[in-house]
């Protein structure tokens, strides 16, 4: 009986020991901060010029706000999820001011072809999940898909740096303006949405016109255009889609058979005849 009790204690202690060892094992694969802290290019993706740019602008940002934007590149995640890896990096590096919790981590895994942005609680007001994802889609991911890692990470860093600077209402010396890179897929998507939206708007306004209420039709058109600008800015963060929506909506109205609300009736007939001739050709 005594031997059995000792055996139970040994088993329990062993289980506790291996559990602790397993939990702590998740920390072994994490990279350590370099002497520069702000730039940790373990995958050798960044040029010396980019490293210098990130370092200098970060020093200015930290001096004025206490915020920090750390860039880390690794060859792979060693089997971890990028969310887990980024979260652990963020905690162990101690990014940002301890009281303000205003740190930001940009993590790129080269072999896994993954990118992650980890935001401290102090910056979640200006960088919610939706906005963070959109910034990645517009300023970073299109470059990474073309294997332009240095250019993409630098451009994305500038975009997030601009957001943080705007939040604190400060100017960062030598900060570059980020450039939106629209892929062919995004362009086709915008055109398709614009065409369908314009067609729907044209049909709706045509219904109003058939009922003889031109005023309501024009009001509906105006409201729709205003909404399109708001929606396009929130979703796409660009006015180009709103302008495209406006133009295609107008064409949808003209093609709906009530074009004379914009043109003299005779001009409208001439336009329709010309259109038919072109189509026959």
pLDDT of residue 57: 97
Q: What is the pLDDT of residues 137-166, one digit of tens each?
A: 989 999 999 999 999 999 999 999 999 999
Decide if pLDDT at 266 tops 50: no
Of 42, 104, 119, 107, give the one whose Cα is nearest residue 81: 107
Query: Which CATH class name applies to 39-168?
Result: alpha beta
- Mean pLDDT over 241-256 rounds to 55
Q: What is the pLDDT of residues 6-55, one digit of tens each?
A: 555 545 555 454 444 444 444 445 899 999 999 999 999 999 999 999 99
Which stretch of DSSP H or E encloses residue 269? helix 265-280
Residue bearing the bigger pLDDT, 221 or 236 = 221
Decide if pLDDT at 58 tops 50: yes
Tokens standing for 128? Answer: 């919610």
Residue 252 in contact with residue 198, Cβ under 8 Å? yes
pLDDT above 70 as % of the chain: 54
Order across the sheet with 114-119: list the strands: 39-41, 68-74, 103-109, 114-119
Q: Quote the CA–CA distance of 103 and 120 in Å, as a whole number.
A: 5
- Residue 121's pLDDT band, with cuts at 50, 70 and 90, is very high
Those residues with Cβ within 8 angstroms of residue 123's Cβ, 6 or more apart along the chain or in another chain: 67, 96, 102, 103, 104, 164, 167
Q: What are the extents of the domains in the chain?
A: 39-168, 184-280
Q: What is the pLDDT of residues 156-209, one digit of tens each?
A: 999 999 999 999 999 998 899 888 876 666 666 666 666 666 666 666 666 665
Q: pTM of the prediction?
A: 0.63
């Amino acid at each position: 009986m005594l031997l059995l009790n000792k055996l139970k204690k040994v088993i329990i202690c062993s289980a506790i020991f291996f559990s602790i060892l397993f939990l702590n094992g998740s920390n072994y694969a994490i990279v350590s901060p370099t002497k520069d802290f702000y730039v940790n290019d373990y995958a050798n993706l960044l040029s010396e010029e980019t490293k210098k740019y990130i370092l200098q602008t970060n020093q200015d940002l930290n001096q004025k706000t206490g915020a920090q934007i750390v860039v880390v590149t690794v060859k792979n995640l060693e089997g971890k999820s990028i969310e887990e890896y980024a979260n652990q990096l963020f905690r162990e590096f101690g990014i940002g001011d301890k009281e303000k919790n205003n740190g930001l981590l940009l993590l790129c895994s080269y072999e896994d072809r993954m990118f992650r942005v980890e935001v401290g609680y102090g910056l979640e007001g200006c960088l919610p999940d939706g906005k963070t994802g959109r910034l990645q889609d517009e300023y970073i991911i299109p470059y990474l898909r073309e294997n332009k890692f240095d250019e993409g990470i630098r451009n994305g860093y500038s975009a997030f740096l601009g957001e943080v600077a705007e939040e604190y209402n400060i100017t960062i010396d030598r900060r570059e303006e980020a450039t939106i890179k629209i892929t062919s897929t995004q362009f086709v998507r915008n055109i398709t949405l614009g065409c369908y939206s314009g067609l729907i708007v044209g049909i709706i306004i045509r219904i109003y016109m058939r009922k003889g209420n031109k005023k309501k039709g024009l009001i509906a058109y105006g409201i729709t255009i205003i909404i399109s600008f708001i929606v396009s800015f929130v979703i796409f963060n660009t006015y180009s889609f709103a302008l495209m929506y406006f133009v295609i909506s107008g064409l949808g109205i003209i093609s709906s058979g009530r074009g004379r609300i914009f043109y003299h009736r005779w001009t409208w007939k001439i336009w329709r005849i010309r259109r038919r001739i072109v189509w026959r050709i």
